Protein backbone atom coordinates (compact mmCIF):
# COMPACT_ATOMS: atom_id res chain seq x y z
CA UNK A 1 0.00 0.00 0.00
CA UNK A 2 1.20 3.52 -0.78
CA UNK A 3 0.25 6.72 0.95
CA UNK A 4 0.53 10.29 -0.34
CA UNK A 5 1.80 13.16 1.77
CA UNK A 6 1.86 16.45 -0.11
CA UNK A 7 3.68 15.77 -3.37
CA UNK A 8 5.42 12.59 -2.20
CA UNK A 9 4.18 9.04 -1.99
CA UNK A 10 5.56 6.43 0.40
CA UNK A 11 5.28 2.68 0.58
CA UNK A 12 3.80 1.32 3.81
CA UNK A 13 6.19 -1.38 4.98
CA UNK A 14 5.11 -4.57 6.74
CA UNK A 15 5.08 -4.02 10.49
CA UNK A 16 8.00 -5.67 12.25
CA UNK A 17 7.89 -7.32 15.66
CA UNK A 18 9.86 -4.35 17.05
CA UNK A 19 7.33 -1.85 15.66
CA UNK A 20 4.40 -3.95 16.85
CA UNK A 21 5.80 -3.97 20.38
CA UNK A 22 6.36 -0.21 20.24
CA UNK A 23 2.79 0.34 19.06
CA UNK A 24 1.42 -1.98 21.76
CA UNK A 25 3.34 -0.06 24.43
CA UNK A 26 2.31 3.32 23.02
CA UNK A 27 -1.15 3.06 21.40
CA UNK A 28 -1.48 6.85 21.41
CA UNK A 29 1.68 7.44 19.34
CA UNK A 30 1.59 10.83 17.64
CA UNK A 31 0.83 11.04 13.93
CA UNK A 32 4.33 12.10 12.85
CA UNK A 33 6.03 9.21 14.67
CA UNK A 34 3.43 6.71 13.42
CA UNK A 35 3.78 7.75 9.78
CA UNK A 36 7.57 7.83 10.04
CA UNK A 37 7.65 4.38 11.66
CA UNK A 38 5.39 2.68 9.13
CA UNK A 39 6.50 4.41 5.92
CA UNK A 40 10.03 5.62 6.56
CA UNK A 41 8.99 9.11 5.45
CA UNK A 42 11.38 11.70 6.91
CA UNK A 43 9.81 13.53 9.84
CA UNK A 44 10.61 16.92 8.26
CA UNK A 45 8.65 15.93 5.14
CA UNK A 46 5.69 14.84 7.28
CA UNK A 47 5.76 18.16 9.15
CA UNK A 48 5.74 20.05 5.83
CA UNK A 49 2.80 18.04 4.43
CA UNK A 50 -0.75 19.44 4.55
CA UNK A 51 -2.50 18.72 7.86
CA UNK A 52 -5.40 17.01 6.08
CA UNK A 53 -2.97 14.54 4.46
CA UNK A 54 -1.19 13.83 7.75
CA UNK A 55 -4.45 13.27 9.66
CA UNK A 56 -5.90 11.06 6.92
CA UNK A 57 -2.74 8.94 6.49
CA UNK A 58 -2.34 8.51 10.25
CA UNK A 59 -5.99 7.45 10.54
CA UNK A 60 -5.62 4.90 7.75
CA UNK A 61 -2.40 3.52 9.25
CA UNK A 62 -3.96 3.18 12.72
CA UNK A 63 -6.84 1.13 11.30
CA UNK A 64 -4.64 -0.89 8.93
CA UNK A 65 -1.96 -2.11 11.34
CA UNK A 66 -4.48 -3.99 13.50
CA UNK A 67 -6.51 -5.28 10.56
CA UNK A 68 -3.37 -6.57 8.82
CA UNK A 69 -2.90 -9.13 11.58
CA UNK A 70 -6.40 -10.54 11.13
CA UNK A 71 -6.21 -11.32 7.40
CA UNK A 72 -2.67 -12.55 6.83
CA UNK A 73 -2.50 -15.99 5.22
CA UNK A 74 -0.10 -18.55 6.63
CA UNK A 75 3.26 -18.30 4.86
CA UNK A 76 5.06 -21.62 4.52
CA UNK A 77 8.21 -19.89 3.28
CA UNK A 78 9.26 -16.27 3.58
CA UNK A 79 12.22 -14.25 2.39
CA UNK A 80 13.64 -12.07 5.13
CA UNK A 81 16.87 -10.06 4.98
CA UNK A 82 17.92 -11.91 1.83
CA UNK A 83 17.48 -15.39 3.35
CA UNK A 84 14.71 -17.94 2.93
CA UNK A 85 12.97 -19.25 6.03
CA UNK A 86 10.37 -21.98 6.33
CA UNK A 87 7.56 -22.53 8.80
CA UNK A 88 8.09 -25.53 11.05
CA UNK A 89 6.47 -28.74 9.87
CA UNK A 90 4.33 -30.20 12.69
CA UNK A 91 5.00 -33.84 11.78
CA UNK A 92 8.75 -33.20 11.91
CA UNK A 93 9.01 -31.27 15.19
CA UNK A 94 11.80 -32.72 17.33
CA UNK A 95 10.99 -33.70 20.92
CA UNK A 96 13.29 -31.03 22.39
CA UNK A 97 11.81 -28.44 20.06
CA UNK A 98 8.28 -29.38 21.18
CA UNK A 99 9.20 -29.07 24.86
CA UNK A 100 10.79 -25.66 24.25
CA UNK A 101 7.75 -24.44 22.30
CA UNK A 102 5.45 -25.50 25.16
CA UNK A 103 7.62 -23.66 27.69
CA UNK A 104 7.82 -20.53 25.54
CA UNK A 105 4.05 -20.50 24.88
CA UNK A 106 3.35 -20.79 28.62
CA UNK A 107 5.33 -17.66 29.45
CA UNK A 108 3.45 -14.47 30.12
CA UNK A 109 3.92 -12.39 28.17
CA UNK A 110 4.95 -14.58 25.26
CA UNK A 111 8.34 -13.58 23.82
CA UNK A 112 7.23 -13.00 20.24
CA UNK A 113 10.78 -12.74 18.88
CA UNK A 114 11.83 -16.04 20.45
CA UNK A 115 8.69 -17.70 19.11
CA UNK A 116 9.38 -16.28 15.63
CA UNK A 117 12.88 -17.77 15.59
CA UNK A 118 11.39 -21.16 16.46
CA UNK A 119 8.42 -21.00 14.09
CA UNK A 120 10.54 -19.98 11.09
CA UNK A 121 13.91 -21.67 10.50
CA UNK A 122 16.35 -21.31 7.60
CA UNK A 123 15.73 -23.61 4.67
CA UNK A 124 18.19 -26.47 4.19
CA UNK A 125 17.54 -26.68 0.43
CA UNK A 126 15.93 -24.79 -2.44
CA UNK A 127 12.61 -26.58 -1.92
CA UNK A 128 9.78 -24.26 -0.88
CA UNK A 129 6.12 -24.58 0.04
CA UNK A 130 4.86 -28.01 1.14
CA UNK A 131 8.16 -29.61 0.11
CA UNK A 132 10.33 -27.26 2.20
CA UNK A 133 13.25 -28.69 4.12
CA UNK A 134 14.43 -26.87 7.23
CA UNK A 135 17.75 -26.97 8.99
CA UNK A 136 17.73 -29.22 12.08
CA UNK A 137 16.38 -27.66 15.23
CA UNK A 138 18.99 -26.11 17.51
CA UNK A 139 18.06 -23.84 20.42
CA UNK A 140 21.30 -21.84 20.19
CA UNK A 141 20.81 -21.28 16.45
CA UNK A 142 17.31 -19.95 17.10
CA UNK A 143 18.56 -17.68 19.89
CA UNK A 144 21.36 -16.39 17.64
CA UNK A 145 18.71 -14.94 15.27
CA UNK A 146 16.77 -13.05 17.95
CA UNK A 147 18.26 -9.60 17.30
CA UNK A 148 17.75 -9.93 13.54
CA UNK A 149 14.20 -11.21 14.04
CA UNK A 150 13.19 -8.02 15.86
CA UNK A 151 12.51 -6.79 12.33
CA UNK A 152 10.66 -9.94 11.17
CA UNK A 153 7.12 -9.20 9.90
CA UNK A 154 4.65 -9.50 12.77
CA UNK A 155 1.86 -10.65 10.44
CA UNK A 156 3.82 -13.81 9.61
CA UNK A 157 4.43 -14.56 13.28
CA UNK A 158 0.81 -14.04 14.28
CA UNK A 159 -0.57 -16.32 11.57
CA UNK A 160 2.07 -18.95 12.48
CA UNK A 161 1.17 -18.68 16.19
CA UNK A 162 -2.50 -19.15 15.31
CA UNK A 163 -1.53 -22.19 13.22
CA UNK A 164 0.57 -23.65 16.05
CA UNK A 165 -2.16 -23.05 18.64
CA UNK A 166 -4.76 -24.73 16.43
CA UNK A 167 -2.39 -27.65 15.81
CA UNK A 168 -1.80 -28.08 19.57
CA UNK A 169 -5.55 -28.02 20.27
CA UNK A 170 -6.21 -30.68 17.64
CA UNK A 171 -3.31 -32.80 18.87
CA UNK A 172 -4.62 -32.56 22.43
CA UNK A 173 -8.14 -33.54 21.34
CA UNK A 174 -6.79 -36.48 19.39
CA UNK A 175 -4.63 -37.63 22.31
CA UNK A 176 -7.52 -37.39 24.76
CA UNK A 177 -9.79 -39.27 22.41
CA UNK A 178 -7.19 -42.03 21.97
CA UNK A 179 -6.70 -42.31 25.73
CA UNK A 180 -10.45 -42.46 26.30
CA UNK A 181 -10.85 -45.22 23.70
CA UNK A 182 -7.99 -47.21 25.21
CA UNK A 183 -9.44 -46.87 28.71
CA UNK A 184 -12.85 -48.09 27.49
CA UNK A 185 -11.28 -51.09 25.75
CA UNK A 186 -9.25 -51.93 28.86
CA UNK A 187 -12.39 -51.69 31.01
CA UNK A 188 -14.37 -53.91 28.62
CA UNK A 189 -11.53 -56.42 28.61
CA UNK A 190 -11.56 -56.50 32.41
CA UNK A 191 -15.32 -56.92 32.55
CA UNK A 192 -15.28 -59.77 30.04
CA UNK A 193 -12.61 -61.77 31.82
CA UNK A 194 -13.85 -64.80 33.75
CA UNK A 195 -13.90 -64.39 37.51
CA UNK A 196 -11.13 -66.17 39.37
CA UNK A 197 -12.07 -68.51 42.19
Tell me the pLDDT tens digit for each residue of 92-125: 888 889 889 888 888 888 899 999 999 999 999 9
Lowest average pLDDT, out of 62-66, 78-82, 97-101, goes to: 62-66
Say if residue 70's pLDDT is above 70. Answer: no
Distance CA 17, CA 155 (A): 9
Calculate mean pLDDT across residues 124-129: 87
Distance CA 13, CA 2 (A): 9
Cβ contacts of 29 within 8 Å, gap of 6 or more: 22, 23, 37
Q: What does the pLDDT read at residue 114?
A: 93
Amino acid sequence: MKVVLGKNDYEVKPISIRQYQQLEQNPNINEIDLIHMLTGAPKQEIIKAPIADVKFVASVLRSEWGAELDITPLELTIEFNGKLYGLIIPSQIAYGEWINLEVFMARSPVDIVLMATHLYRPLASDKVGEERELIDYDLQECQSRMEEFQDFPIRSVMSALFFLTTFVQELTKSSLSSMETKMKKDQEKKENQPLKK
